[in-house]
Structure 1
Amino acid sequence: MDQTKSKALFTKACDVIPGGVNSPVRAFKSVGGTPPFISHAKGAHIFDVDGNKYVDFIGSWGPMILGHANDEVLGEIARVMEKGTSFGAPTELEITMAEAIIERVPAVDVVRLVNSGTEATMSAIRLARGVTKRDKCIKFNGCYHGHGDSFLIAAGSGATTLGIPNSPGVTKATAQDTLLANFNDIESVKEVFEKYPEDIACVIVEPIAGNMGCIPPQDNFLQDLRTLCSKYNALLIFDEVMTGFRVARGGANELYGVDPDLLCFGKVIGGGLPIGAYGGKRDLMNHVAPAGPVYQAGTLSGNPVAVTAGLETLKRLTPEVYETLEEIGGYMQSKLHDIITKNGYPLSQTRVGSMVCLFFTPNEVRNFADVQKCDLEKFNLFFHEMLKQGVYLAPSQFEAGFLGICHTKEIIDEVAEKAQKALSVVFS
């Protein structure tokens, strides 16, 4: 596989951009090698500057459910751009987007548009603290909610200890307000609440953990979180930046039937353009400025270009599309299952709708500690073998993969054949 131009661009980028990339995972540090520099994309495929073609299972990290460069979505973006790209003033499109989210998500009455998923989660945490007059927040090891200071916290000596910063620039004081528990381990959450019964403003969780692979909630985990938060008068926040409008028309809120107090969105509602949102019940959201005292603002929030891309994407995500996505996801899962069982490979896989992950461990994966036991060397080898064959996977064992309606059964059959070849090399 020729990477001459990508290597030259990466060298050049490292001179002017930290690490040569604008989001760390793109640097390929965890898997090694040179990241392909993408020139264009269409449908289920992306193309790099060296002319290599890949079947794409990243999909801009989730939003490209309709495939890359959808003609209808691009047409609407172009039409709206002719009128202007941003005004710093209200537009009717913002109302339409808010109504579209509210109509789809059972737990949302009122929505505030922002510019990214990180901004949505940061704002939701501030709102929770402002409403409850409490400082502490529970998050889960392995769940990622953007790069806000409150979220860049690693575990101390145990799941219920106060967090310590895992990035320079995050103060110890900030870290001390973030408490940690383990995903799919409700007892670890109970211990934290029992230790700080009057101090916890909220629990924030990815309802399907997508930043340690793809790990669904088990054993009524989300329902039990809802019960605990209600018992201790803390708010429950679903970070649906990744799952919202991907795993179901109404996201994980609809899929699992658990109503959080606040929800955060991104990815899909921008159709690949930068956007985010947070929302919840009216009495909570009315605390947000200018309706209330909890301040949050953004110059480009709700800009017509990003909103249009998202609206046109949502319009096309009909119930029939989600049925298709489920069928595609199930088909890929069955193909991989056949490969794993036929050859006795020490692998496991998870899937929720069109979110997928292949783990390089034979054991069930329930939380971050389980993912850390994966054979990362074998994953890295598999990743590069697939890349050579023209399949672009997430360059980390700790990331989910994403399917779209352009991933036909024919494409999946092709990818399964390549996976068989790659795995035979990995386990030879």
Structure 2
Amino acid sequence: MFYKRSSALFAEAQKYIPGGVNSPVRAFKAVGGDPIFVKRAKGAYLYDEDDNRLIDYIASWGPLILGHAYAPVIDAVIDKAKDGTSFGMPTEIETEIAKLAVSMVPNIDKIRFVNSGTEACMSAVRLARGFTGKDKIIKFAGCYHGHSDSFLIQAGSGAVTFGSPNSPGVTQGTAKDTLLAKYNDLESVRQLVAANEGEIATIIIEPVAGNMGCIVPTDEFIKGLREICTQENIVLLFDEVMTGFRLGKGGAQEALGIDADIVCFGKVIGGGLPVGAFAASSEIMAHLAPEGPVYQAGTLSGNPLAMAAGLAMLTELNERPEVFENLAKKTEYLHKGFDSVLKNKSVPYQINRFGSMISVHFTDTPVIDFETSVKGNNDTFIKYFHGMLDKGIYLPPSAFESYFLNDALSYDDLDETIAALDALEF
């Protein structure tokens, strides 16, 4: 395929936008080459500025679970825009979507809407600290919760040491309150809790990880986290920005059978528009301003266009729960097809899958945490990514991102994708 116009647009963008992109993951830095500029999309397909058609496996990084330009969502946004785009005042639709979300998700009573997943996670951590009166948090290496200072922390020298900043601009003072544990390693959590007894406000986790590829928690690990948090009066915070309303109506809590204390949402809840949210019991949410002392605000939070898109999306998913089963079956079909092809190739590989999330890792080691995810052969991944792209398959341009299937994908699309992989030479 040719990407002449995309390359020209990228060169122009670099003159005015840092790195030519407004989010680093779009830059193709991990795979080389110039990013693809999209002109339009419909259903399962992207159409770039050179009029190439691409089968899409990122779905705008998760939110477009029913496919691009899904008519009920588009119609809802258009209708709402005719009445105005923003007011900075309460609107009825905010309560409508809040009521629906609370009815769909287990173990939450109230929800606060914000403008992004980053904002949701940042605010949820502040709420957990305000609720518990404690300062420190535990996060897991490889889990991404947005670019708030508290989350941009890399591992220290051992399991019980403080983390250190992994981005300039993040202070050591901030970093000292963030402790890093290993995903799927309950003992690393126990060590941190014991070494910081009575100081941990919250444990924040992607319950099914999507930022080191798709990584599924073991039953022992995820249940153990719930037990530790209950015993130690620690808030268990599920970052369901990716998994919420994707792994089922009730998200990862429902899929894993685990109740979190605070849950963060994004992606699907906005129907493709910039929306985030965090939710909890009435007891915890009572600490949030203006009802309580923990301050959080946003001028455009609950924006009517975003609320209209989100309400249309959640209504569809609530009325058609079979979507989740259909997506899981399609993802399983893709998994089996890839497995059948790759076992005849001369490359080691692992495939991880949960619901409609899946990832391929070019390593002979099972991928269960960040340490094992980085063992993947990036040179092989680059050949894989660009080889698939040349055949019209758009995958995440990073070995550390989950694929997100959407319901508009047909089995013919899946077969075309499997055939593209079969034709690759590594």
Same fold, TM-score > 0.5, yes or no: yes
After TM superposition, the structure 1 stretch with the greater mean CA deviation from structure 2, 184-193 or 99-108, is 99-108
Question: How big is the shift at 1:52?
Answer: 1.1
Is 1:389 aligned to residue 385 of structure 2? no
Is 2:65–2:246's contact at 8 Å kept on the other side of the alignment? yes
SS in 2 for 1:189: helix
Q: Which amino acid aligns with 1:19?
A: G
SS in 2 for 1:179: strand
**Structure 2 Cα separation of the partners of residues 320 and 373 of structure 1:** 37
SS in 1 for 2:64: coil
Is 1:350 aligned to residue 352 of structure 2? yes
- Cα deviation digits, residues 65-112 of structure 1 (max 9, x gap): 110011221111111110111110111110111111111111111100
Question: How big is the shift at 1:315?
Answer: 1.4
Which residues of structure 2 form unaligned runs of 5+? none
Give matches, 1:115-194, under 5 Å.
115-194=115-194
Question: How big is the shift at 1:282?
Answer: 0.5
- Cα deviation digits, residues 273-326 of structure 1 (max 9, x gap): 000000101000010000000000001101110011111111111211112111
Is 1:97–1:307's contact at 8 Å kept on the other side of the alignment? yes
SS in 2 for 1:220: helix
Q: Which residue of 2 aligns with 1:54?
A: 54
Give matches, 1:137-286, under 5 Å.
137-286=137-286
Using the size of structure 1 for normalisation, the TM-score is 0.98
Q: Aligned-residue CA RMSD in angstroms?
A: 0.9
Question: How big is the shift at 1:219?
Answer: 3.7
**Structure 1 Cα separation of the partners of residues 253 and 263 of structure 2:** 9
Is 1:405 aligned to residue 407 of structure 2? yes
Give matches, 1:367-378, under 5 Å.
367-378=369-380
Q: Which amino acid aligns with 1:368?
A: F
Is 2:57–2:405's contact at 8 Å kept on the other side of the alignment? yes
SS in 1 for 2:124: helix
SS in 2 for 1:62: coil
Is 1:198–1:232's contact at 8 Å kept on the other side of the alignment? yes
Is 1:184–1:219's contact at 8 Å kept on the other side of the alignment? no
Q: Which amino acid aligns with 1:60?
A: S
Q: Which residue of 2 aligns with 1:92?
A: 92
Q: Percent identity?
A: 52
**Structure 2 Cα separation of the partners of residues 10 and 107 of structure 1:** 45
**Structure 2 Cα separation of the partners of residues 275 and 189 of structure 1:** 31
SS in 1 for 2:90: coil
- Cα deviation digits, residues 24-73 of structure 1 (max 9, x gap): 01000010000011000000010111111100101000011110011221
Q: Which residue of 2 aligns with 1:313?
A: 313
Give matches, 1:69-108, under 5 Å.
69-108=69-108
Q: Which residue of 2 aligns with 1:364?
A: 366
Q: Which amino acid aligns with 2:407?
A: I
Q: Which residue of 1 aligns with 2:324?
A: 322
Is 2:159–2:191's contact at 8 Å kept on the other side of the alignment? no
**Structure 2 Cα separation of the partners of residues 362 and 103 of structure 1:** 43
Question: How big is the shift at 1:175?
Answer: 0.2
After TM superposition, the structure 1 stretch with the greater mean CA deviation from structure 2, 155-164 or 261-270, is 155-164
Question: How big is the shift at 1:344?
Answer: 5.9
Question: How big is the shift at 1:207?
Answer: 0.1
Q: Which amino acid aligns with 1:39?
A: K
Question: Deviation above 3 Å: which 4+ runs of structure 1?
Answer: 342-345
After TM superposition, the structure 1 stretch with the greater mean CA deviation from structure 2, 94-103 or 166-175, is 94-103
Is 1:65–1:246's contact at 8 Å kept on the other side of the alignment? yes
**Structure 1 Cα separation of the partners of residues 379 and 99 of structure 2:** 47
Q: Which amino acid aligns with 1:326?
A: A
SS in 2 for 1:252: helix
Q: Which amino acid aligns with 2:412?
A: E
**Structure 1 Cα separation of the partners of residues 42 and 308 of structure 2:** 19
Is 1:31 aligned to residue 31 of structure 2? yes
Question: How big is the shift at 1:158?
Answer: 2.1
Q: Which residue of 1 aligns with 2:421?
A: 419
SS in 2 for 1:254: helix
Which residues of structure 1 form unaligned runs of 5+? none
Is 2:143–2:211's contact at 8 Å kept on the other side of the alignment? yes
Question: How big is the shift at 1:343?
Answer: 3.8
**Structure 2 Cα separation of the partners of residues 160 and 378 of structure 1:** 35
- State how many pairs are aligned: 424
**Structure 2 Cα separation of the partners of residues 75 and 358 of structure 1:** 36
Question: How big is the shift at 1:345?
Answer: 3.8
Question: How big is the shift at 1:177?
Answer: 0.3
Question: How big is the shift at 1:157?
Answer: 1.1
**Structure 2 Cα separation of the partners of residues 182 and 398 of structure 1:** 16
SS in 1 for 2:360: strand
Q: Which residue of 1 aligns with 2:304?
A: 304
Q: Which residue of 2 aligns with 1:336?
A: 338
Is 1:57–1:402's contact at 8 Å kept on the other side of the alignment? yes
